A and B are shown apart, each in its own frame.
Chain A
Amino acid sequence: KQEVTQIPAALSVPEGENLVLNCSFTDSAIYNLQWFRQDPGKGLTSLLLIQSSQREQTSGRLNASLDKSSGRSTLYIAASQPGDSATYLCAVNTGGFKTIFGAGTRLFVKA
């Protein structure tokens, strides 16, 4: 059974710092991995999608990597800003529309 774990559960950093969020999964047989951002009480915003054949994807200050063989993905945020404060969720697609989410990392960026 696929399990997705995110470390750390919470993170507080000063503005301007570069940071890395981690996501690990137990079964490497995935179709893709998607990173989301969620603000309190709101829906999920898609940040990046990495297909199983890809190693990384970039969008602006965000870079996501995928190492299927080791069951790990990282989300790198450069030059963090207070507006980046949110919960970041990773989700793996195991095929047939099934998506398993990690519990998320709550990020707080201090001004």
Chain B
Amino acid sequence: DTEVTQTPKHLVMGMTNKKSLKCEQHMGHRAMYWYKQKAKKPPELMFVYSYEKLSINESVPSRFSPECPNSSLLNLHLHALQPEDSALYLCASSLAGALDNEQFFGPGTRLTVL
């Protein structure tokens, strides 16, 4: 299984809502990533988990809260978002600690904040 899955595919939420994005992989990868991508821009790294521990937080606002409950799952909890947070949120995974850590991406969640 060389697939990264993400749910939901689309999400529309108000600024006062609380929602979560989910990412799952069964490739035995121990590094998992969240990226944010705005239209016609490259992906921007948000968070990296390595062996279920937060390894990188790229100064992301606290209204985004990541969680890695086990080696196969990665969540992104959303609360009090702003309209400018509307974007495609991509999850990726790779072997941790390997120099050739090829990243595999999921299809993304298209988030719209009203």
Contacts and interface: CB of A to CB of B under 8 A. Distances in A.
B90 A43 contact: yes
Contact of B106 (A43, A91, A97): A43
B102 A46 contact: yes
B62 interface: no
A81 interface: no
Contact of A41 (B44, B48, B88, B99): B88
Q: How large is the interface on A (under 10, 10 to 19, 20 to 34, 35 or more residues)?
A: 20 to 34
Contacts, number: 62
Interface in B21-78: 31, 33, 41-45, 48, 50, 55-56
Interface of B: 4, 6, 31, 33, 41-45, 48, 50, 55-56, 88, 90, 92, 94, 96, 99-108, 110
11 contacts: A31-B99, A32-B101, A41-B88, A43-B107, A43-B108, A44-B90, A52-B99, A96-B55, A96-B56, A101-B44, A103-B41
5 A-B pairs with the lowest CB-CB distances in the bound complex, closest first: A101-B42, A44-B105, A43-B107, A43-B105, A49-B102
Interface of A: 31-32, 34, 36, 41-46, 49, 51-52, 89, 91, 93, 96-99, 101-104
